[in-house]
Amino acid sequence: MTQAHEKTHEFDPQLLSEVAALPALPGVYRYFDAEGGVLYVGKARNLKKRVTNYFQKNHGGSRIGHMVTKIVRMETTVVRSEAEALLLENNLIKTLHPRFNILFRDDKSYPYLKLTGTHVKDGAGAPSASTQTSPLTFSPASATTFPRIAYYRGAVEKKHRYFGPYPSAWAVKESILLLQKVFKLRTCEDTVFNNRSRPCLLYQIKRCSGPCVGHVSAAQYAQDVANAERFLRGQTQEILGGLEQQMLQHAEKLEFEQAAELRNQMSALSKVLHQQSMDLGGNNGDVDVDILAVKVQGGKACVNLAMVRGGRHLGDRPYFPAHIENAVDVAELDAAMDADALVQAEADVAQGAAPAAASKKARVVKTKSLEALVLEAFIAQHYIDTPVPPTLVCSEPVDKDLIAALAAQTGVRIAAVHQPREQRRIWLEMAQTNAGLQLARLLAEQGSQQARTRALAEALDLKMEDLAALRIECFDISHTAGEATQASCVVFHEHKMQSAEYRRYNIEGITPGDDYAAMRQVLTRRYSKLAEAARNNEARLPDLVLVDGGKGQVSMAREVFTELGLDLGLIAGVEKGEGRKVGLEELVFADGRDKIYLGRDSAALMLIAQIRDEAHRFAITGMRAKRASVRTGSSRLEDIEGIGPKRRASLLQRFGGIRAIASASAEDIATVDGISKELAEEIYRVLH
């Protein structure tokens, strides 16, 4: 019996029978361990051949061998094409977070520039210069007549136009500022627009044309909106040509004031374009491009994404994938299996030079660099839910099949350019430099943070084989004279703060200002269910629970943990030092240990202070938001009987905001359509 067969016998017969029954069709497979954790997600042109290779070959002591020995369960999904398999595979990777896949986590959604209202095709209803009259003779119109530009983050809607995505909020706001300078589009909210009687400061400083008070015609404003859209698409020469033609038409009719306005607009646009040309070093015709540079060092990787939209370089954003050390062997095995499949396919067609040629291709696939694997994983995962531009400039060669599948999935014709020239080369070199700088920063920060974790574990004698597994939860209470009391819980894990696991707790039913009762309530709510789950091995308790306070708060935590049957050794209080000076804090323990002073320059104290300060910040921001909500009544307007969406909208449109409604008298509120005197008095009573 061969070693490979001996290896096969170690697996559950039920699992092996499932492997044998797989179809020879394209699809996606998932491997699970004994605890139900996802080990790996992969795709295949032929599910049967691909999965069978995992269980029939001896992978030795490699990472893939380590993974295979942990497989106890498998799931597969058959799809119609490789493009569908690519989409499903990377959706599952982003959802399930498997341990042996290169994983790019979404930190947040991309921001967009929003232009309200539906799009009007060029030439359809566009105003001509001959139909425009003096802009000072028009009466105010509704907000829907005059679209606004705004920063936006979230799901897009068909009733508005969106430009982007942009790499940062700063890039969006910079673009809005340019549009204000050149085209003078409004940025105010619709409720403000509909209730203005005179122009705002932006009109005075020539950043808005004043449509709210009739200082610009709807036709002229529509032309400015159309030009702004062309600018965002990079059609700058068309804008200048159109403005020049309009200016000459006005001059021929002796309408010199209108001609001067257009001349000033052309001057402002030319200045912007000149600065843009200086920033980019010229214009090679690229309108929408993504530049992707990857750097791998010290077991970490960084993909730096730089964006060019409408011919303008908008900035860049770094991405740091997880699990690259586990994914290398598995990705190489998958590539080798694909290459073997090519060899077999070509051998079936022709028994001459084709197998040798395919073998040569197989060797090329097997030697694919880690940088290329990381870059391909980023492209596959990133562009699932992010619009892909027609050109990708890449620091590493990218698999043509991946680009073809991505194009089929998105419906966009995509070109992946490696070793670019001229301006694209300059962009790529900038992105590579930024990738190196961002990776160096990450390694420095992680080295410092790991040293702090190690110092704290040693100071508190925490026996941890894997320091990354150390989990600390910290609690703080915040209120203003007893008003809007909130408790915060922040989590430190894997050498960093885990903001996705933060929680806020509204504290109710206590004497205002009683911090001890608030701490008792939040600890009881946090750990009552968790303690039961931990006893059933369904959850894991933290290794350390920090409370911001001294003996009083620790005593309260001791009572809660005693009632729940939890280990008192988990609790530590961060007590202010003499004179409440920073750096003199001491740790107070619930299990009777003597309190300790870590030292002003101690790395352990730096970590404690970082976690404590984050809990304090998180509690204060929540308390302030809750207090503002209570004072303005924004959380109670919808709760008033008789106030539905239409009446609420009428109130907001009439007064411009919740604060204005709260400041109004019952008589003023009753003047709103649909609001009776009795309902107005009820609104006034609730808000006061």
Residues in the chain: 688
> Is 261 in the same domain as 140?
yes
Is 79 part of a structural domain of the chain?
A: yes
Other CB atoms within 10 Å distance of the CB of residue 2:
9
> Is 264 in the same domain as 362?
no
The H or E element spanning position 176 is helix 169-183
Per-residue model confidence as pLDDT tens digits over 258-287: 667 667 666 665 655 545 443 444 445 567
Residues in contact with 608: Cβ distance below 8 Å, sequence separation at least 6, in sequence order = 456, 546, 574, 585, 587, 598
β-partners of residue 158 are none
> Is 275 in the same domain as 298?
no
Is 107 part of a structural domain of the chain?
A: no
Q: Is the peptide bond before 199 cis (omega within 30 degrees of 0)?
A: no
Is 134 part of a structural domain of the chain?
A: yes
The H or E element spanning position 86 is helix 82-96
The Cα–Cα gap between 629 and 636 comes to: 9
Decide: residue 321, CB within 10 A, 0-12 exposed, 13-18 middle, 19+ buried.
buried
The domain containing residue 677 runs over which residues? 633-687
Q: Which of 503, 412, 484, 386 is nearest to 108 (CA)?
A: 386
Phi, psi at 309, each rounded to 5°:
-130, 130
Contact 657, 634 (CB under 8 A): no
The Cα–Cα gap between 27 and 83 comes to: 10
End position of a domain, from candidates 257, 280, 303: 280
Is 214 part of a structural domain of the chain?
A: yes
Is 368 part of a structural domain of the chain?
A: yes
The Cα–Cα gap between 53 and 39 comes to: 17
β-partners of residue 392 are 290, 416
Task: Look up the CATH number of the domain holding residue 25.
Answer: 3.40.1440.10
Per-residue model confidence as pLDDT tens digits over 416-444: 999 888 888 988 998 999 999 988 888 88
Phi, psi at 105, each rounded to 5°:
-85, 140
Residue 60 half-sphere exposure, CB side, CA atoms within 13 Å? Answer: 3
Contact 600, 584 (CB under 8 A): yes
Mean pLDDT by 10 residues, the chain (688 residues): 42 84 90 88 87 76 75 90 82 87 76 76 37 36 79 80 81 82 85 84 86 86 85 70 68 70 64 48 65 89 88 84 74 63 59 50 57 90 85 91 84 88 88 90 82 87 81 88 79 90 88 87 91 82 89 90 90 77 79 81 86 88 61 56 78 74 82 85 78
Q: Which of 320, 307, 304, 316 is nearest to 432 (CA)?
A: 304
Distances (CA, A) of 387 to 168, 309, 536: 16, 12, 45
Task: Look up the CATH number of the domain holding residue 675.
Answer: 1.10.150.20
Tokens describing residue 4:
């490979």
Residue 226 is predicted with a pLDDT of: 85
> Is 120 in the same domain as 268?
yes
Phi, psi at 635, each rounded to 5°:
-90, -5
Q: Which of 206, 214, 154 is nearest to 181 (CA)?
A: 206
The structural domain count of the chain equals 5
Mark out the alpha helices in 214-352 (DSSP H runs): 218-232, 236-252, 256-280, 324-349
> Is 479 in the same domain as 565?
yes
> Is 623 in the same domain as 666?
no
The Cα–Cα gap between 617 and 294 comes to: 35
End position of a domain, from candidates 248, 280, 312: 280
Is 532 part of a structural domain of the chain?
A: yes
Contact 358, 346 (CB under 8 A): yes
Tokens describing residue 352:
């001459």
The Cα–Cα gap between 620 and 285 comes to: 50
Task: Look up the CATH number of the domain holding residue 536.
Answer: 3.30.420.340
End position of a domain, from candidates 439, 459, 492: 439
DSSP 474-502: EEEEEEETTEEEEEEEEEEETTEE-GGG-
The Cα–Cα gap between 99 and 65 comes to: 14
Tokens describing residue 644:
């539905």
> Is 46 in the same domain as 119?
no
Is 676 part of a structural domain of the chain?
A: yes
Is 458 part of a structural domain of the chain?
A: no
Tokens describing residue 564:
């729940």
Contact 432, 304 (CB under 8 A): yes
Contact 117, 161 (CB under 8 A): yes
Residue carrying the six token digits 């999935």 = 409
205-208 — which CB contacts under 8 Å span 24+ positions? 207/180, 207/181, 208/180, 208/184
Angle, helices 353-366 vs 324-349, to 10°: value is 170
Residue 635 is predicted with a pLDDT of: 46
Phi, psi at 653, each rounded to 5°:
-70, -35
CA-CA-CA-CA torsion sign (493, 613, 580, 545):
negative
> Is 324 in the same domain as 243?
no
Q: Which of 663, 668, 657, 651 is nearest to 687 (CA)?
A: 663
Task: Look up the CATH number of the domain holding residue 295.
Answer: 3.30.420
Residues in contact with 569: Cβ distance below 8 Å, sequence separation at least 6, in sequence order = 589, 590, 591
> Is 148 in the same domain as 266?
yes
Distances (CA, A) of 42 to 29, 76, 601: 5, 10, 48
Contact 71, 42 (CB under 8 A): no
Residues in contact with 295: Cβ distance below 8 Å, sequence separation at least 6, in sequence order = 301, 302, 304, 371, 432, 435, 436, 439
The Cα–Cα gap between 669 and 554 comes to: 51
> Is 80 in the same domain as 152?
no
Looking at the chain, the number of H-run helices and the number of E-run strands are 23, 19
Residues in contact with 478: Cβ distance below 8 Å, sequence separation at least 6, in sequence order = 485, 486, 487, 488, 616, 619, 620, 622, 623
Edge-first strand listing for the sheet containing 149-153: 149-153, 111-115, 161-163
> Is 542 in the same domain as 624?
yes
> Is 271 in the same domain as 321?
no
Biggest CA-to-CA distance, the chain: 100
Beta-strand relationship, 415-418 and 391-394: parallel
Residue 241 is predicted with a pLDDT of: 67
Other CB atoms within 10 Å distance of the CB of residue 139:
6
